[in-house]
Each structure stands twice: as structure tokens, then as C-alpha cells.
Amino acid sequence: MNKWKIRNLQAADVAYITSTWMTSFRSNNSFAREMKHRIYSSEHNRIINSILSEGKTLVACDPEDDGHIFGYIVCSSKDIGIDVFHYIYIKGPFQKNGIAKSLIESAKTAEKAVYTHKNQKAKWIHEKLLGSYNESNYNPYLFFAEV
């Protein structure tokens, strides 16, 4: 039995997910760091909010406390049979425990996957997706196409 449960996004999660996504991506990706903070903050936040309202977000949390979030996955499915993963975040103390793999498996609806974000800290994403999918590719343009 897992030491976490996976549930759907709740309204109370949105601020936490937006904040951790914005902060972790900016600190671990040169694309985000090279622009003025106000531009990054405004534009990335706008797209994230659109994806959170339209896409699928799964949250891994404490089985006895829905508010204690261990990590999350933000994704969408394309009608062309591809799962699009926009962001996977696992809190430091919970990394390397199988949470990311569990979230990926729970979100899977197709045999091919695309991920729209990558950073220096999460170079494992491609290999993790290949463990669950027949094909995995990086395509950041699908992130911007969501709005």
C-alpha cells in the first residue's frame, strides 16, 4: 500500500500549485530566469491558470490529510492520442519514493506522451515517461498552445 493517495485538484490547491510551479521552474530553467520577473510572473501565471482550469491535475497527498500535498502532475490529453504533461512537481522530502511514477500512471490515457517543461533538476522526466509510454518527446510549444 502506498504512503500517499492520489486525488483530483481541489480549489484550495490552486495557489500552492501555481506558486510551486512558478518558483521551481524559474529557479531551475534558464528560459524563465533570463526574462524580467514581472514578465515571467504575469505571462506564465496566466497560462498556468488557464491549464489548471481546463486540463487535468492530480495531487499526491497524505492519505489522512488532503491538504498535505506531496506532489502533483498537471496534464491534458490531446484528441490525437497523446498525453501532454505540463508539470510534475514532488516536494524534496518525498522525491525518489515512486510518487512521480504513480502520478504518471494515474494520468495515463494514451500510448504516447509529450512534456512541455524541463529543467536542470528534473532531467529524469524523459526516462520516467518512457517507462510508461511507447514514445516520449519534449515540445514546449504545446504549453503555449493551451491559451
Q: What is the pLDDT of residue 106?
A: 95
Measured from the Cβ of residue 110, the count of other Cβ atoms closer than 10 Å reads 16
Read off the C-alpha cell for 40: 515571467
Q: DSSP readout, 76-132?
A: EEETTTEEEEEEEEE-GGGTTSSHHHHHHHHH--SSEEEE----TT-TTHHHHHHTT
Our count of domains for the chain comes to: 1
Per-residue pLDDT of the chain (147 residues; tens, 9 = 90+): 569 999 999 999 999 999 998 888 888 777 777 888 898 888 888 988 988 988 899 999 999 999 999 999 999 876 678 999 999 999 999 988 999 999 999 999 998 988 888 766 666 666 767 678 888 888 887 877 755
Cα 78 versus chain centre, distance: 16
Domain, as residue range, for 45: 5-144
pLDDT at position 146, please?
Answer: 59
Whole-Å CA distances, 121 to 13, 26, 118: 23, 11, 8
Q: pTM for this structure?
A: 0.88
- Whichever domain contains 65, its CATH number is 3.40.630.30
